[in-house]
């Protein structure tokens, strides 16, 4: 993606990394995204972390837009901001979402996590640069990144990986259902309090406690993710 931007006509006229408006905007949005991502992992307030994640993911969508990948940008908003973060917030509210700082929201593994993150980032950048170094972008056809071009490349050239991925997601879906069913069966066997988390979140709203557990909200997110 980054290479695609440096190869687009505006950049070709001005040379590599010359400050055109789009590139400046790209850099600024990138900085905001990076900052939001940093706050996401460093803040001690759990729900704030999820909300900063919205900013980071939305910033990524704007970056896609600036790279003319319109379809990917909207799918990013639809899946990540609209569903994954909602799922995260749902999970947080269902368990424990205190207002203010959580002193225990910290990890002793931070250095290990940082090492893994940096290694993953280096590997990704290296692989992408290496893979697309010799790629030529056809500037005469419809602009790359439109829905038509994305769809054609996805379902003409990459249809096998695409189908393999959908099988993987189906496996994850089945796995999620099996795991949640098993947990419910175990809990039923051990006692009538099937959903301690849902009951705790509901608190005094006792009427909705049994409903929420009978509803198995645990299984739903898995189904949703898999179906996508």
Partner 1 sequence: MNDALDVALRLLVVFVVFLTFPLIVGQTEHKVMAHMQGRLGPMYAGGFHGWAQLIADGVKFAQKEDVVPAGADRRVFQLAPAVALLPYLLVLLAIPIGPSEGAVGQVLDAGVFFVLAVMGVGVLGSLMAGWASANKFSLLGGLRTAAQLLAYELPMLLAAASVAMAAGTVSLPGILHAFHWWWVPWQIVGAVVFFVAGLAELQRPPFDMPVADSEIIFGAYTEYTGLRFALFLLSEYAGIVVLCGLTTVLFLGGWHGPWGADGLGWVWTLLKAAILAFVVIWLRVTYPRLREDQLQKLSWTLLVPLSLAQIALTGIVKVVIS
- From the list 6-14, 89-97, 130-138, 152-160, the region that binds partner 1 by CB under 8 A is 89-97
25 belongs to the binding site for partner 1 (CB under 8 A):
no
Tell me how far apart the alpha carbons of residues 64 and 93 are, in angstroms, rounded to a whole number: 31
Spatial contact of 66 and 20, defined as CB atoms under 8 Å apart: no
Under rule CB under 8 A, residue 70 binds partner 1: yes
Distance CA 192, CA 126 (A): 53
End-to-end alpha carbon distance in the chain: 24
Give least dist CB 13 to partner 1, A: 21
Residue 6 sits in the site that holds partner 1 (CB under 8 A): no
Could you give the CA distance from residue 34 to residue 21 in angstroms, rounded to a whole number?
20
**At closest approach, how far in Å is the CB of 98 from partner 1?**
10
Q: Scan for tokens 């896609």, then name that residue.
A: 64
- Asked if 108 interacts with partner 1 (CB under 8 A), we say no
Q: Binding marks (x or -) toward partner 1, 172..191, rule CB under 8 A?
A: --------------------
DSSP secondary structure letters along 9-75: HHHHHH-TT---HHHHHHHHHHHHHHHHHHHHHH-S-HHHHHHHHHHHHHHHHHHHHHTT-HHHHHH
90 near partner 1, judged by CB under 8 A: yes
Which residues in this chain contact partner 1 in the complex, by CB under 8 A?
A: 47-48, 51, 54, 70-71, 74-75, 77-78, 81-83, 85-87, 89-90, 92-94, 97, 99-100, 146-147, 201-205, 207-208, 211-212, 214-215, 217, 220-221, 223-224, 227
């Amino acid at each position: 993606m980054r290479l695609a931007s440096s190869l687009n006509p505006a950049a070709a006229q001005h040379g590599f990394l010359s400050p055109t408006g789009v590139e400046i905007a790209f850099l600024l949005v990138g900085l905001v995204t990076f900052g939001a991502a940093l706050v996401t992992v460093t803040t001690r307030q759990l729900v704030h972390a999820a909300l900063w994640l919205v900013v980071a993911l939305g910033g990524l969508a704007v970056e896609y837009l600036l790279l003319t990948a319109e379809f990917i940008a909207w799918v990013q908003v639809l899946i990540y901001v609209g569903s994954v973060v909602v799922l995260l917030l749902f999970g947080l509210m269902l368990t424990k979402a205190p207002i203010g700082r959580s002193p225990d929201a910290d990890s002793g593994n931070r250095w290990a996590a940082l090492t893994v993150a940096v290694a993953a980032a280096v590997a990704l950048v290296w692989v992408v640069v290496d893979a697309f170094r010799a790629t030529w972008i056809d500037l005469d056809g419809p602009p790359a990144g439109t829905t038509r071009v994305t769809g054609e490349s996805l379902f003409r050239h990459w249809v096998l990986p695409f189908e393999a991925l959908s099988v993987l997601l189906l496996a994850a879906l089945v796995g999620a259902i099996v795991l949640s069913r098993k947990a419910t069966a175990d809990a039923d066997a051990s006692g009538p309090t099937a959903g301690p988390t849902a009951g705790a979140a509901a608190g005094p709203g006792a009427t909705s406690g049994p409903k929420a557990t009978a509803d198995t909200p645990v299984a739903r997110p898995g189904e949703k993710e898999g179906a996508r």
